[in-house]
Amino acid sequence: NTQTLDNLLAQARLLPVMSIRRESDILPLADALAAGGIRTLEITLRTEWGLPAIKLLRRERPELCIGAGTVLDGRQFQSVLDAGAQFVVTPGSTEELLTLGLDSPVPLLPGVATPSEILMGYRFGYRRFKLFPAEVVGGVTALRYFSGPFHDIRFCPSGGITLSNLPSYLAMANVMAAGGTWMTPQSAVDAQDWTRITQLCRESLALLP
C-alpha cells in the first residue's frame, strides 16, 4: 500500500479532484488537466457520474492514473474496483474500509483528521493518509505537530487548498501530495472554460518546490 501510493501520489505531488455533473464534461475536463501537466486525478462518487467517469477514462485515457474519491463504505469500495479505479480515497476511516484496503488489488488512502484516527489506521499497517478537511483541522500547523509522534507517516492534505496556500503545504516534509478542487473550479467546468483549468494546473505545477 505505502509503496504503491508513494509511486502514484508522491510522484504526482498534485491530486486534482473531479466531481462530474454532466457526462459531456468527463473527457474535456480530463484532457484539460492532462494538457496542464496532470496525470493522476481523483474522481468523486459525489455525483451519479462518478462511476461512469472512472470507467470511461480507464477505457479512453489509459495514460492517466484514475483514483476514486468519496468512497464511504464497502459497497462503494467494490463498485470503484469494478469500474477500474487505480487507487481509492476515503474522507474518513472505518474498520470496514481499512480492512477492505488491506486485501484490495489497488491501494487505499484513508482519510484522517485526528491522532486517534491515525493510530487506528496505523494499527492496520497504513502509513499514508489523506488529511481531511485539511484547512479546518489545522492545515500546515497540524501537519507540523503530526510530524513529531508520527515520523514515518506522510499525508495528502485536501480540503481548502488554494493556489495561495499550496506552497506552504508542499514545503512540508510529511506531505506527499496536495489534493482538491482548486484546479477544477465548478464555475470553469460549467462554462466549459477548459483553458482556465489547464492554466490553473500549470500555475500549480509551477509552484512545486
Where on the chain is the footprint of ligand 3PG (CB under 6 A)? 17, 44, 69, 158-161, 179-182
Which of helix, strand or coil describes residue 155? Answer: strand
Neighbours of 163 (CB within 10 A): 13
C-beta closer to ligand 3PG: residue 71 or 81: 71
C-alpha cell at 209: 518546490
C-beta closer to ligand 3PG: residue 121 or 179: 179
CB 139 within 8 A of CB 165: yes
Assess whether 96 carries a catalytic annotation. Answer: no
* Residue from 95, 130, 135, 203 carrying the catalytic annotation: 130
C-beta closer to ligand 3PG: residue 40 or 181: 181
CB 201 within 8 A of CB 180: no
Shortest Cβ 89–ligand 3PG spacing (Å)? 7
CA distances from 164 to 10, 135, 137, 160, 204 (A): 21, 12, 18, 10, 10
Closest residue (Cβ) to ligand 3PG?
A: 180
Shortest Cβ 159–ligand 3PG spacing (Å)? 4
Assess whether 42 carries a catalytic annotation. Answer: yes
Shortest Cβ 162–ligand 3PG spacing (Å)? 8
Shortest Cβ 67–ligand 3PG spacing (Å)? 11
72-85 as b/e: b if 16+ CB within 10 A? eeeebbebbbebbb
Q: How many whole angstroms separate alpha carbon 98 and alpha carbon 92?
A: 10
C-beta closer to ligand 3PG: residue 36 or 180: 180
Radius of gyration of the chain (CA): 16
- Please identify every residue annotated as catalytic: 42, 130
